[in-house]
Each structure stands twice: as structure tokens, then as C-alpha cells.
Amino acid sequence: MGNKFVMVGGGSTQSPGILEVLRQRAGELALTELVLYDIDEERVSLLGQYTEMYYRESGSNVTVSYTTNIDKALIGADFLFMQIRPGLNKQRAIDEKICLSHGVVGQETCGLGGFSFALRVIPAVVEIMTKVKELCPDAWILNYTNPEAILSEAIYHVFPEAKCLCICDMPISIEGAIAKYFNKDLRQLIFKYFGLNHFGWWTAIIDEKGQDLLPLLREDVLSGEIDTLLMSNEDTKEDQYWIDTYKQMIKLFKRFPAFFPNCYLQ
């Protein structure tokens, strides 16, 4: 028996990269069926047809389909990857620009921008989770939908028994950059973090000997020895946007050196 994997929000522009990882690791994941589900028929149809063709031509044995029928998508699912955006980027722009016009943080997961987003996302996710409880209650859900922390609380409040992991790739990327700075393997370090969604800070970086490396990082930043961290992701280390982002993160740490900031705070 193999696993059925459903992408909820399968028409997303983020989907192709995830679909490629699934194709490459299908054997390891015992993946036999992949379903792209979305309420946008045009988007899911385009990406669904592409995925079907790509998997077939690359020799994959995974059965690929796409649908706008959530019941059809979820029946028998073993894993769900949830990435939805009610209102699309058009509404995101409104959320952020209203905040910016009043001189406050407009980022879509922090502050009022994130709160506005949450008011649209929570009802949509609760509706999806209700269907999950009915059609595939034992499925694992990997939620990539923002705002992560608020949504995590909402899911746990309404569906405390759900097998749901809410994830974000930004903290692990920053932690990888910190590990690289100290010439450590990421697995040698324990990071302590607090905050709401992306609005957060690291309070300690404990190495394999029990030493906290955060004071050493703080000293190097305040002395001017470093003005950025080396990114651990090969795809972004030459990207000017990410170079500027990591430099901005160091500038923010210099101004508020008690804890190390998540780069979303730029």
C-alpha cells in the first residue's frame, strides 16, 4: 500500500518546487498518488496538466490528478500539504498598504497585516479541517499557510486532536546561517526562540558543549566585525534581495542587541 498526498492550494505558484521534491523522493515517501486541489479551476488545471505530463515523461509511477472537488481530493488521503491564500495577492496588497499608510508594520504575517489575513484564513482552514475530520481523520497535515502562529492556535482550539504540523522555512534558514558562521553543523546547536509567527527572536544558541553562542555573535556584531551572515541556501546566497535582507537583520540586531531577530522584522 502506498500513500496518497494532497496539495490543498495546488494552484499556488509555490507548488512546482514542492512537486519536484515529491517526485524525487516518491520512493522514500511511499508516494503512489498525488492530487492537486484548489478552488481556482484555471490555476489548478494548468498546474495539474503540467504535473501529469512532467511526472509521466520523467518516468514517475505516481498517479497524478487535479480537482476542485474537495471531497474527491480528500477521501483516503494520508498526507495533506496546505498552502492557501484567501483574497490572493490583491487582498494582501490592500492589507499591507493600509498599515503602511498609517506608519505601522504592513508585513502579511506580522502586526495588523497578519491579523487581517488571519480573519480571512481561519474560516477557510476551519472549513477544510472539518472536511478532513469527516473524510480522512488519520491524515497528517503539513500547514504552510500564514499567519502560522495565529493559525496554529486556531486549529488547535477547534481541532485539538488533529495531526497537524504548522511549518515555516525561514527560521531554519537563519539558524543554518548562524551555524555556518560558527563553523558548526546545524544539528550540533539548540536554538531557543520566542514570538508570534514571524515576529520573533532567538534568545539563546546552545552548542554541543552547553555554551551559549549568542553573546559571541552579539559581540562580533557590536564590534563591527560582521555586517551580515553567510546564507546557507545555495539558491539565495547570490540573490541581492537576500543579501540586503540578511544585512538588515544584522543592523536590527545592532540596534536591539538583547535577542537575535527573525528577518521578517525588516
Which residues participate in catalysis according to the annotation? Answer: 169, 264
In degrees, to the nearest 5, what angle opens at C-alpha 219 toward C-alphas 218 and 221?
65
Please, which residues have CB within 8 angstroms of residue 24's CB and are 6 or more apart in sequence? none
Q: At what angle do helices 214-222 and 240-255 cross, to 10 degrees?
A: 100
CA distance 62 to 69: 20
For residue 131, the tally of other CB atoms under 10 A from its CB is 15
CA distance 62 to 120: 34
Strand order in the sheet with 190-196: 190-196, 199-206, 260-261
Q: Of all residues in the chain, what percent are helix, strand and coil, respectively (each to 5)?
A: 45, 20, 35
CB 136 within 8 A of CB 74: yes
In degrees, to the nearest 5, what angle opens at C-alpha 240 toward C-alphas 236 and 242?
50
Q: At what angle do helices 41-57 and 15-24 cross, to 10 degrees?
A: 30
CA distance 200 to 262: 6
Measured in degrees and rounded to the nearest 5, phi and psi for residue 229 equal: -110, 150
